[in-house]
Amino acid sequence: MFFCKRLLLRYIFFFFLLPVFQVAALYAQDNQKINSTELGDKTPQELVDLIKKATPDEREQYETALLNYPQQDLEIAKQYLQIGLFFYGEEEFEKCIVYLDKAITIANKLKEYKLLSKSYMIKGHSYLRAGDNQSALDAYYVALDIAKNQGDLEQQIITNSGLIIVLTRMNQSDKALEISRQMLKFIDKTSFKDTKNHVRILTTINDVYLDAEQYDSVLHYAEKGIAMSKLLDYKEGLVDLYIKKGMVFYHTKQYDQAFKYLLKAEDIVLNFDIPNQFFPKTNINYFLASCHYEKKEYDQAIEYLSKTLDSIEETDLDKMPVIQSHLLIANCYGEKKDLEKALYWHNKYLELNEEYQKNKDKTVSKIYTTEAEKLESEIESLKSKQIADKQSKTYVLIILIVISGAFVFVVFNYRKKQKKNTVLFQDLMQKIEALELREQQEGEQKEEVKEIIIDDIKVDEVLKGLSKLEATEYFLRSDCSLGSIAKKTKTNTTYLSKIIKMYKGKNFNSYINELRIDYVLRRLKNDKKFRSFSIVSIAKEIGYKSDNSFTKHFKAKTGLNPSYYIKKIEHMEEQLQS
C-alpha cells in the first residue's frame, strides 16, 4: 500500500507539478530579461538611486548598467562621482575607486577641472582610509595641482587636510605643520567658516599638533571645535575632538582627565549612529587601555584591546592603531607574567610593523621625489612644445642649458648633503668615543667632583640623586618625568627644575632627551642586535612614546636620521670585517 502511494505521488509530480515549475521558471527568466531591458531606459540618476536603495545582493545589475552606460558626458561623470561618494560612506573603498576612475576619465576629456580635482581628492581619501599611503599621496598631489591651477582655495584646503595625515604618518611633521598653519590662516576667507568642514579641518590639524607634541595647541583647537560641534549638533566631530583631548591628557599623565574625555567619546559612539566608526572605536579602545596599563590595571587594558583585536578584518592589519594595539596587549601579558601570550602578540606586532615600515619608507621616498618629478615633467612639456616650433632653436638651447643646470644643481646638492651627513657622522663617532673614554675615567672624575664645594646641602643631595638615577638609567623609563624624578630626589618640581637649569645648563626636557640620545647612540654603535630593531621598538626601548618623537630628538641632537646612522654603523662594521 505504501509503495502504491509513493508511485502515485511521483506520477502527480512528473505529469502535473513539474511542468508547472518549468513554466514558472521560464516566466521568471523572461521577466528578468524584461527587467534588464528596462534598465537600459533608466537615466544615470535613476540608476544611482536604485543602487543606493537596493540591498548589496540586488545592486549588481544596477551597477553593471551604470558602468556600461553608453553616453559619456558631464552628467554621467557627476553620477559616477556621486555613487563613488556613496560607496566611500559605506567603506567599500575598492568600489568607490572604480567609479571615481570612471569620473576622472570623462572629466579629463571634457576638461572639467573642478570635477577632476574633487574626484582625485576623494580617491586620495579612499586610499588613505584603506591604509594605502603611497596611492593616497599620488592622488592628493594631482588634486592639489589642479586646484592650485584653478585658484580654488577651498579645494586646496580640503585636499591638504588629507595630505597632512599622510605626511604625519610618514614622520614629515615639519611639512605637515607648515601646511596646517596655512590652512588655519585662510579658512576664515572661505565658506567653511563655522561649518562641519571647519570642524573636520580643526580635527585633522590637531593630529599634526599631537604628533609634534604641541599639546597646548591641541587643547586650544579642540575646545574651539567642540564648541562648533555642539552648536551644529555634529556628533562625529565631538567624538574625534573628545578623543584628541583624551590623548593629550594621557600623554601628560593626567589619566583621570583622559578617562573623562575618552568615555565621553565612547558614550556618543555607543548611543548614536556615527559613520566610519573603525578609527574612533580603535583609538578609544587603545587609549583607554593605555591609561589602564599605566595604572597597572592590566586586565581592564586587555579587555579594551580585545574589543579591537576580536573585530578587525584582514584589511585592517596595516593600520597603525591596530599595530600599536598588538604591541600594547603583548606588554600587558608581559606584566602579568603570561609569557606565552606575550610572545604570541609580540611576534604578531613585529610582523605587522615590519610590513608597515616597508610601505612607509616607499612613501617617504615619494614625498622627496615629487618636487623633482614635477620640475622634470614641466621641462619635458616645455621642451616638446619648443621643438614643435621650427623657429625655436634658441629656446631649445636655453632649455637644454636649464636642464643641464638643474641636473648639476641636483647632483651638487645631493653630494653636498651626503658630504655633510658623512662629516656629521664622523663628528658624532668622535663624540661617542670621547663619551666612552670619559666613562672609563669615571673614578678620576668622581674625585674631581668631591673637590667642588657646594654650599647648599640640599643642592648637593639633589645632584647626587640625579647622578644615581643616571647611573641606573632611570631616564629610559617611559614614566620618567619631572614629577617622578623630584620624588626620587626628595624635592619639589620647581626646585628640581631650577637645579637642572643651573647645574646641567638646560631645561628638564632637554636634559632627559640628551641622556636618551647619548645612550642610544652608544648602544646602536656597540649592540648589533639592538640595531636590528625597528625604529618604533628602539623608541619604546629608550622611553619615547612614539617613533616620531624619537626621530625628531635624534635629528635635533645629531643632524642625522636614526635609520641613516644605523646604516652607516652597519657599513663601518662590514668594512672592518672584510
Classify residue 253 by burial, with Cβ atoms within 10 Å: 0-12, 13-18, 19+: middle
Check residue 433 and give its pLDDT: 58
Query: Which amino acid is it at 348?
Result: K
Please check the confidence at residue 431 and state whether its pLDDT lies above 80.
no
- As a whole number, the mean pLDDT across the chain is 79
Q: Is the pLDDT score of 204 beyond 50?
A: yes
Q: Which residues contact 536 (CB under 8 A, 6 or more apart)?
A: 327, 353, 357, 546, 547
| Interior angle at CA 150, CA 147 and CA 152, nearest 5 | 60
- The x, y and z cell numbers of residue 117, run together, are 580635482
Q: For 271-288, what is the mean pLDDT?
A: 89
Most confident range (mean pLDDT) of 257-266, 369-378, 476-485 is 257-266
Instruction: Out of 2-11, 100-109, 173-182, 478-487, pick the least confident.
Output: 2-11
- Given a cut of 60, whether residue 452 has pLDDT beyond it is no
Q: Among 41-50, 76-85, 260-269, 443-452, whose mean pLDDT is lowest?
A: 443-452
For residue 21, the model assigns a pLDDT of: 42
Q: Find the range with the poorest average confidence among 329-333, 410-414, 501-505.
A: 410-414
- Tell me, what's the pLDDT at 184? 84
* Amino acid, res. 241: L
What local confidence, expressed as pLDDT, does residue 393 receive?
A: 56
The pLDDT, as a whole number, for residue 441 is: 53
Tens of pLDDT along 348-387? Answer: 888 888 877 766 544 444 444 443 444 344 434 444 554 5
Asked if 264 and 286 touch (Cβ cutoff 8 Å), the reply is no
- Predicted local distance difference test score (pLDDT) of residue 101: 93
- Is the confidence at residue 220, as pLDDT, over 90? yes
Instruction: Render pLDDT for 36-68 as a digit per residue (tens, 0 to 9).
Output: 445 667 788 888 888 888 887 788 888 888 888
pLDDT tens readout for residues 537-564: 898 889 988 888 888 888 888 888 888 8
524 has pLDDT over 70? yes
Instruction: Pick 407 or 157 by higher pLDDT.
Output: 157
**422, burial (CB in 10 Å: exposed 0-12, middle 13-18, buried 19+):** exposed
Query: By percentage, how much of the chain surpasses pLDDT 90?
Result: 23
Looking at the chain, the whole-number percentage of residues with pLDDT higher than 70 is: 76
The grid coordinates listed for 378 are 614641466
Average pLDDT in the 170-180 region? 80
Cell of 573: 662594521
Helix then strand count (H, E) for the chain reads: 28, 0
Nearest to 65 by CA among 90, 43, 89: 43
How does DSSP classify residue 188?
G
Question: Burial of 497 by CB count in 10 Å (0-12 exposed, 13-18 middle, 19+ buried)?
Answer: middle
For 249-300, the DSSP string reads HHHTT-HHHHHHHHHHHHHHHHHS--SS-HHHHHHHHHHHHHHHHHTT-HHH
What pTM was computed for the model? 0.52
Contact 289, 328 (CB under 8 A): yes
Query: Model confidence at 163, in pLDDT bands (50, 70, 90)?
Result: confident
Residue 241 CB contacts under 8 Å (≥ 6 apart), including other chains: 199, 202, 203, 206, 222, 225, 226, 229
- Who wins on pLDDT, 100 or 403? 100
What's residue 415's pLDDT? 58
Contact 116, 108 (CB under 8 A): yes
Q: Which residue has the higher pLDDT, 178 or 57?
A: 178
